[in-house]
Amino acid sequence: MPSHLLSTHPQDMAVFADRLKQLRTQRKLTQGRMAEILGVSLRMYCRWEAAEAMPYADTLVKIADALQVSADELLGRDELKPEHRIHNAELHRLYQQVDQLSDEDQQALIILLDSLVKRSRVKRVMDEEPPKRRKRG
């Protein structure tokens, strides 16, 4: 088997397909979005999830990066680590660079993120609260 190909053993393909679908759905990504992120056709991506084909090794690395797991986790060779990753790939990419910011910029980022999270919580509460009825006088 050429080194750029992954195992095409049916059991290995089934484990990979299951993990791929599980990780994609956990991250709330569609098959179409995954195909777009990876630069492959939707048809090819669907074949991977259906255990009808395996990606080349270089594509496997792209998939693992996009899903924020190791290749061994993706292939079922390691257990999946507990879910604590950022689902949005772009946010995750930026998050990995935060340590390069100055302390001042990191503090500004903390304040900004905190305010956005609080705003989101307030909006959820407001959306859930039934409208108040006016008393007639």
Listed by start position, the domains of the chain span 10-75, 97-128
Looking at the chain, which runs of residues are DSSP E strands? none
Helix axes of 10-26 and 42-49: crossing angle, nearest 10 degrees:
110
pLDDT of residue 80: 72
Count of alpha carbons within 13 Å of 101, Cβ hemisphere only? Answer: 13
pTM value surpassing 0.75? no
First to last CA, the chain: 85
> In sequence order, what are the residues at sequence separation of 6 or more whose Cβ sits closer than 8 angstroms to the Cβ of residue 134?
none
Whole-Å CA distances, 117 to 3, 112, 121: 46, 9, 6
pLDDT (0 to 100) of residue 1: 39
Q: Which residues of the chain have pLDDT under 50?
A: 1-5
| Per-residue model confidence (pLDDT) at position 112 | 93
- Under 8 Å CB-to-CB from 61, ≥6 apart: which residues? 71
User: DSSP class of residue 99?
Assistant: G
Which CATH superfamily is 10-75 part of? lambda repressor-like DNA-binding domains (1.10.260.40)
Tell me the pLDDT tens digit for each residue of 32-49. 999 999 999 999 999 999
Looking at residue 133, its pLDDT comes to: 63
Instruction: Give the whole-angstrom CA distance, residue 9 versus residue 107.
Output: 50
pLDDT at 39: 94
